[in-house]
Amino acid sequence: MQIFLYDTTLRDGTQREGLSLSAEDKLKIAYLLDELGVHYIEGGWPGSNPKDAEFFQRIRETPLRQAKVAAFGSTRHAGGSCEGDANIRALVDAQTPVVTLVGKSSVLHVERVLETTLEENLAMIADSVAYFKAMGKEVVYDAEHFFDGYKLDPAYTLRTLEAAAGAGADVLVLCDTNGGSLPNEVSNIVRDVRTHVSHNVQIGIHTHNDGALAVANAMAAVQEGAAQVQGTINGYGERCGNMDLIPLIANLQLKLGHQCVSAEQLARLSELAHVVAAVANLNPDAHAPYVGRSAFAHKGGIHVAAIAKVEHSYQHIDPTLVGNQKRVVVSELSGRGNVKMRADELGLDVHGNERAVLQQIKERESKGFQFEAAEGSFEMLVRRNAEDYQPPFELLDFTVTVEKRGDREITSLATVKVRVGDELMHTAAEGDGPVNALDAAIRKALLPHYPELAEVRLVDYKVRIIDEHRGTAATPRVLIESARGDERWSTIGASPNIIEASYQALWDSLELPLLRARESGVGSRESGVGSQESVAAHA
Lowest mean pLDDT segment, chosen from 8-22, 195-209, 474-488, 498-512: 474-488
Per-residue pLDDT band at 303 (split at 50, 70, 90): confident
Do 39 and 125 lie in one domain? The reply is yes
Contact by Cβ (8 Å): 532, 484: yes
Do 227 and 347 lie in one domain? The reply is no
**Considering only CA atoms, which of 437, 434, 435, 415 is closest in space to residue 425?**
415
Mean pLDDT of all residues in 135-145: 98
Do 230 and 320 lie in one domain? The reply is no
Q: Does position 360 have pLDDT exceeding 80, yes or no?
A: yes
Per-residue pLDDT band at 535 (split at 50, 70, 90): very low
Per-residue pLDDT band at 182 (split at 50, 70, 90): very high
CATH number at residue 450: 3.30.160.270
Instruction: Kindly state the helix (H) or strand (E) to which residue 509 belongs, with its residue range.
Output: helix 498-520
Do 123 and 187 lie in one domain? The reply is yes
Per cent of the chain over pLDDT 90 is: 71
Mean pLDDT of all residues in 273-286: 92
DSSP reduced 3-state for 526: coil
Per-residue pLDDT band at 350 (split at 50, 70, 90): confident
Mean pLDDT of all residues in 114-127: 97
- Degrees, nearest 5: CA angle 325-328-333: 150
Q: Is residue 15 part of a domain?
A: yes
More confident site: 199 or 367:
367
**The pLDDT of residue 469:** 65
Mean pLDDT of all residues in 447-474: 85
**The pLDDT of residue 332:** 54
**Considering only CA atoms, which of 74, 95, 97, 98 is closest in space to residue 86?**
74
Q: What sign has the CA pseudo-torsion 357, 358, 360, 364?
A: positive
Range of the structural domain that residue 269 is part of? 4-279
Do 149 and 59 lie in one domain? The reply is yes
Do 418 and 353 lie in one domain? The reply is no
Give CA separation, 135 vs 128, 183, 233, in Å.
11, 37, 31
Q: Is residue 373 part of a domain?
A: no
Task: Look at the chain and report how many structural domains it folds into.
Answer: 3
**The pLDDT of residue 466:** 78
Q: Does position 323 have pLDDT exceeding 60, yes or no?
A: yes
Per-residue pLDDT band at 522 (split at 50, 70, 90): low
Q: Is residue 377 part of a domain?
A: no
Q: Is residue 537 part of a domain?
A: no
**The pLDDT of residue 343:** 73
Mean pLDDT of the chain: 90
pLDDT in tens, 201-252: 999 999 999 999 999 999 999 999 999 999 999 999 999 999 999 999 999 9
- Give me the amino acid identity at 266: L
**The pLDDT of residue 424:** 95
**The pLDDT of residue 525:** 41
Do 273 and 349 lie in one domain? The reply is no
Do 87 and 232 lie in one domain? The reply is yes
**The pLDDT of residue 297:** 83
Contact by Cβ (8 Å): 162, 197: yes
Q: Does position 523 have pLDDT exceeding 50, yes or no?
A: no
β-bridge partners, 401 = 413
Q: Is residue 384 part of a domain?
A: no
Distance in angstroms (rounded) separating the CA atoms of residues 107 and 476: 57
pLDDT in tens, 45-97: 997 788 999 999 999 998 899 999 999 999 999 999 999 999 999 999 999 99
Per-residue pLDDT band at 279 (split at 50, 70, 90): very high
Mean pLDDT of all residues in 265-272: 96
Q: Is residue 371 part of a domain?
A: no
Do 19 and 83 lie in one domain? The reply is yes
Q: Exposed, middle or buried by CB within 10 Å (0-12, 13-18, 19+), for 436?
A: middle
Per-residue pLDDT band at 407 (split at 50, 70, 90): confident
DSSP reduced 3-state for 134: coil
CATH number at residue 206: 3.20.20.70
Do 77 and 181 lie in one domain? The reply is yes
Lowest mean pLDDT segment, chosen from 93-102, 246-255, 291-300, 507-516: 291-300
Contact by Cβ (8 Å): 218, 231: yes
Distance in angstroms (rounded) separating the CA atoms of residues 184 and 151: 13
pLDDT in tens, 160-171: 999 999 999 999
Q: Is residue 224 part of a domain?
A: yes
DSSP reduced 3-state for 210: coil
Q: What sign has the CA pseudo-torsion 508, 509, 514, 515?
A: positive
**The pLDDT of residue 529:** 36
Q: What's the number of CA atoms in the CB half-sphere (13 Å) around residue 71?
A: 29
**The pLDDT of residue 531:** 32
Do 81 and 224 lie in one domain? The reply is yes
**The pLDDT of residue 333:** 59
Mean pLDDT of all residues in 126-147: 98
**The pLDDT of residue 453:** 94
Helical segments of 224-335, H only: 245-250, 263-266, 269-279, 301-309
**The pLDDT of residue 363:** 86
DSSP reduced 3-state for 167: coil
Do 182 and 155 lie in one domain? The reply is yes
**Considering only CA atoms, which of 151, 159, 196 is closest in space to residue 178?**
151
Mean pLDDT of all residues in 519-527: 54
Q: What ranges make up the beta strands (E) of 340-473? A: 394-403, 411-420, 423-431, 457-465
**The pLDDT of residue 240:** 98
77-80: list long-range contacts, CB under 8 Å, 24+ apart: 77/124, 78/114, 78/115, 78/116, 78/120, 78/121, 78/124, 79/116, 79/120
Q: What ranges make up the beta strands (E) of 75-201? A: 98-104, 138-144, 171-176
Contact by Cβ (8 Å): 219, 186: no
- Degrees, nearest 5: CA angle 14-15-18: 80
Tell which of 279, 312, 338 closes a domain.
279
